[in-house]
Chain A
Amino acid sequence: MELNHVYALIAMNGLESSRNSLARQAVDRALAAAEILSPALDLALESPEEFAAKVRAAGQAARKLRGRAARTLEKENFSALKAMGVMEEAPALMGSDMLYATSGVELLMWRGEEGAWRKAVEEFRAELLELGEPTVECGALFWLLRESCVLNELFSTREQDEVQSRVTALATENPVWRCLVEEEFHDALVALGLKAMRAKRAMFRNPYLEGVALFFPFLERRASIFIDQVVLGTTVKERRTAVVEYLKARGHRVREVPNGSETLLEIDGSFYRAWPTTRTVRLPIQGMALVPVYL
């Protein structure tokens, strides 16, 4: 798999394809850069100066990218990955929420094949966190993922510090790493927006605020999925099975994962706890809320 396809597999996974989001804009820019950099990786070994020029050109192309060209790039990358059998367009979990499902709004997302996605991510993580010099592909991938604000989803906070100091050391010794570290193409406003969204998400990871999000779902809407079903007189297992069947019928990958004394649901690669609750519109509606779990 070429660099641009590896990047697309990692970064497009989980992005909503039917909605223009800040995350999507950031990924689109990096896709444009990846397309230019991908055929030029050999230059990093032959002529670091020429490679640096290519990196600058890739950065410039990313900064110039606009709407229609971005959609074309997404389509090309998605089609290539689909042909390889490692990505598909699947329903987004938000579309299974009662309000979205009953209003007929179809929300779609790009979903990478689990095995291929994991292999790509874990190889990248291993190269960056292990001793020894990382490959050119790893350096280029680091640059693309950093500029599209995806890095923090692949590394823990402690690992991010480790990676930062590692990359700083590599940049002082190696001209290829130096040019990758110095060149930037991210949109400052998009990056700021993503940072704010991340800060909000991190806030709701606090166990006390999880409950607040459950009662006031608009505070963290995309992590507050409500599925209406009769709850009264049912057991925990019956409720969970009903949620699993409902989500599977809507095209999601769902797995029950035992975690100590409780059983979590792994939905499209993210963990959730199914919680019986009611939503009051005009009358109270019984159902299950899916609360994200961060393991």
Chain B
Amino acid sequence: MSRRRSMEAILQDQWVTIGELARLTGLRYSTLKFYTEEGMLPFCQPESNLTRRYRRVETMGRLERIGELKAQGLSIPEIQARLAE
């Protein structure tokens, strides 16, 4: 068991969990999970029963890009296509 990390500790680390991503971005867990399952957020998972970890800077950038594309009215498949470019 571990303690919850402070915001300073999170911002110094390269990797974050999905819970920490929710704290950083204010996005819903279900939204982040959906993006992950749709392959829009790359993650690393050392073992199948361990927490998924995301590269903090890269993932935050992706989420910002997804937000911009959504604001432009693009659908999820269109956003996926844009992210894959």
Q: Which residues of A contact B (CB under 8 A)?
A: 41-42, 44-45, 115, 118-119, 122-127, 129-133, 135-139, 174, 176
Contact = CB atoms under 8 A, between A and B. Distances in A.
Contacts of B83: none
Given A131-B49, A131-B51, A131-B52, A126 B1 contact: no
Contacts of A126: 17-19, 21-22, 29, 32
21 contacts: A41-B3, A42-B3, A45-B2, A118-B26, A119-B22, A119-B26, A122-B26, A122-B29, A124-B19, A125-B22, A126-B21, A126-B32, A129-B29, A131-B51, A132-B49, A132-B50, A132-B51, A133-B2, A135-B2, A136-B1, A139-B1
B28 interface: yes
Contact of A122 (B1, B22, B45, B51): B22
A125 B29 contact: yes
A116 B64 CA distance: 19
Interface in B26-64: 26-29, 32, 45, 48-52
A125 B49 CA distance: 18
B1 A130 contact: no
Contacts of B27: 122
A143 to B, nearest CB: 14
SS of A interface (majority) = helix
B70 interface: no
A44 B51 contact: no
B65 interface: no
Nearest to A116: B26
A118 B51 contact: no
A96 to B, nearest CB: 28
Chain A to chain B: the 4 pairs with minimum beta-carbon distance, closest first: A132-B51, A126-B19, A122-B22, A126-B29
Contacts of A133: 1-2, 51
